[in-house]
Amino acid sequence: MHKLMLKLSRFMAAAGGFVLTLLIVLTCISISGRLLNGFFHGDLMQSLAPGFAEWMIAIGVGPINGDFELVEAGVAFAIFAFLPLCQITSGHASVDILVDSFPRRVNSFLRMVTEIVFAAVLVLIAWRLEAGLVSKLNNGETSFLLEFPIWWAYAASLVAAVVAAIVGVYMGVVRTIEFLTGRILVWDGLETEQ
């Protein structure tokens, strides 16, 4: 079961990384186009080569229309897509100054509680995201510039949020079993022999 969850988490992280890479390329192209557009509209280019400047602008050299709408939707998906891998590898930020001095059993209890709380929050987020998706689907809201249905972004984020919730619940169950049995089922480098 753990291998399946780990593969699913890695797949989602790869999908999130792919989308994030596309967004970076899109942003770079849009910023370059915006700079070139400003340069072509500038006094220097208008005086030296007004025909060339107008031609470059006419063929579409400029910012990408609606780039911020795409970035907003894509980053939301990427955030949710990275959560499962972060959850299954215990990659969340933690401050262990005090916790390191606790006995192993107390640490195991704290890890169990933390995983259960994470799982509950991830399920809550997925549930409310689904409610938002239904709302956006029913009212037909579209983005301002590109006019793509907003529910598309919600649907993509919901898929990733559901996977994060499933992995979160799985890890909550794993840490609960670990606490109850005293055995470590999933090693992630945080366990120590005490």
pLDDT digits (tens, 9 = 90+) for 12-28: 999 999 999 999 999 99
Q: Say if residues 63 and 39 touch (Cβ distance below 8 Å).
A: no
Residue 112: Cβ-neighbour burial (10 angstroms; 0-12, 13-18, 19+): buried
18-27, 58-67, 80-89: which range is least confident on average?
58-67
pLDDT at 192 over 70: no
pLDDT over 50 at 166, yes or no? yes
Buried b (16+ CB within 10 A) or exposed e, 8-36: bbeebbebbeebbeebeeeeeebeebeeb
Write down the pTM of the prediction: 0.84
Q: Is pLDDT above 80 for 194?
A: no
- Both tokens assigned to 148: 């793509």
What was the pLDDT predicted at 174?
95
DSSP-derived 3-state class of residue 148 = coil
Between residues 103 and 116, the one the model is more confident about:
116
Band (pLDDT 50/70/90 cuts) for residue 152 is very high
According to the model, what pLDDT value does residue 189 have?
55
By percentage, how much of the chain surpasses pLDDT 70? 96
Averaged pLDDT score across all residues of the chain: 89
Tens digits of residue pLDDT in 93-109: 776 777 778 888 888 89
* Best mean pLDDT range from 31-35, 103-107, 155-159, 184-188: 155-159
Report the pLDDT value the prediction gives residue 125, as an integer from 0 to 100.
97
Among 6-10, 168-172, 185-189, name the one with the lowest average pLDDT: 185-189
Q: Name the nearest CA neighbour of 174 among 132, 116, 129, 118.
A: 116
- What was the pLDDT predicted at 120? 97
Q: State the Cα–Cα distance between residues 70 and 109, nearest whole angstrom.
A: 42
